[in-house]
């Protein structure tokens, strides 16, 4: 009798490779996973995609590479580890911390172009902080950087505004930059109300909207 024939057959359900395949199938289909497992898998997928897009943008995006170059020339080197993909609430797509870090809200991006605009926006804030020593508690300082970041990053291009439900055929770019700057300044803890945010934006509008540094013109 062949000794091998006396061994009981392996139950596929007990095979490690089968279990891995089963879990992968569950990830794809969502069947057989608990709500917590589905949420965890969704966050992992979003994080991997964010990291992949981040790497591609840091190497190949004209606006991102340009900003990184000028940050370096200004004495502010930005390593990729200072740009962090993380889950955030869905009211924002990114953020800048004066300590020298940028957060990309990994679940907020519908495509890589949206992430590119967001990263460029935050790099403009970083450039302003490095070059001009911005006091983020000063509403006028904050307003100026928001005007520049919204104007220079691509955040206010026509199709992006159309997707938000804003349509204008006259000074669309300026209207978008102003609206989004006011919203950002209003979220500043030092801002008492919307009127103060609007006033800060209006007071610096002319000089800051016309300041395209380090770009030669609005990107």
What residue has token string 């000089």? 207
d(CA 74, CA 57): 21
Strand partners, 84: 103
122 a catalytic residue: yes
- Residue 84's H or E segment, with its range, is strand 83-86
Catalytic residue among 14, 44, 51, 122: 122
The answer to whether the peptide bond before residue 214 is cis (omega within 30 degrees of 0) is yes
Dump the DSSP string for 92-127: -SEEEETTTEEEEETTS-SSHHHHHHHHHHHHHHHH
Catalytic residues: 122
């Amino acid at each position: 009798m062949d000794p091998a024939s006396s061994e009981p057959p392996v139950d596929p359900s007990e095979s490690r490779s089968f279990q891995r395949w089963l879990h992968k199938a569950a990830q794809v289909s969502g069947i057989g996973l608990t709500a917590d497992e589905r949420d965890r898998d969704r966050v992992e997928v979003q994080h991997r995609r964010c990291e992949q897009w981040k790497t591609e943008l840091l190497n190949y995006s004209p606006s991102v590479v340009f900003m990184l170059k000028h940050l370096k020339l200004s004495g502010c080197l930005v390593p990729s580890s200072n740009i962090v993909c993380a889950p955030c609430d869905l009211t924002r797509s990114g953020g800048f911390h004066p300590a020298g870090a940028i957060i990309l809200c990994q679940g907020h991006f519908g495509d890589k172009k949206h992430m590119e605009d967001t990263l460029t926006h935050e790099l403009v804030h970083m450039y302003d902080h490095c070059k001009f020593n911005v006091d983020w508690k000063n509403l006028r300082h904050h307003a100026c950087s928001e005007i520049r970041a919204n104007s220079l990053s691509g955040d206010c291009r026509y199709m992006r505004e159309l997707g938000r439900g804003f349509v204008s055929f006259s000074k669309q770019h300026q209207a978008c930059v102003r609206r989004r700057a006011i919203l950002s300044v209003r979220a500043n803890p030092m801002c008492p109300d919307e009127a103060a945010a609007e006033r800060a934006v209006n007071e610096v509008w002319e000089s800051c909207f016309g300041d395209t540094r380090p770009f030669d013109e609005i990107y």
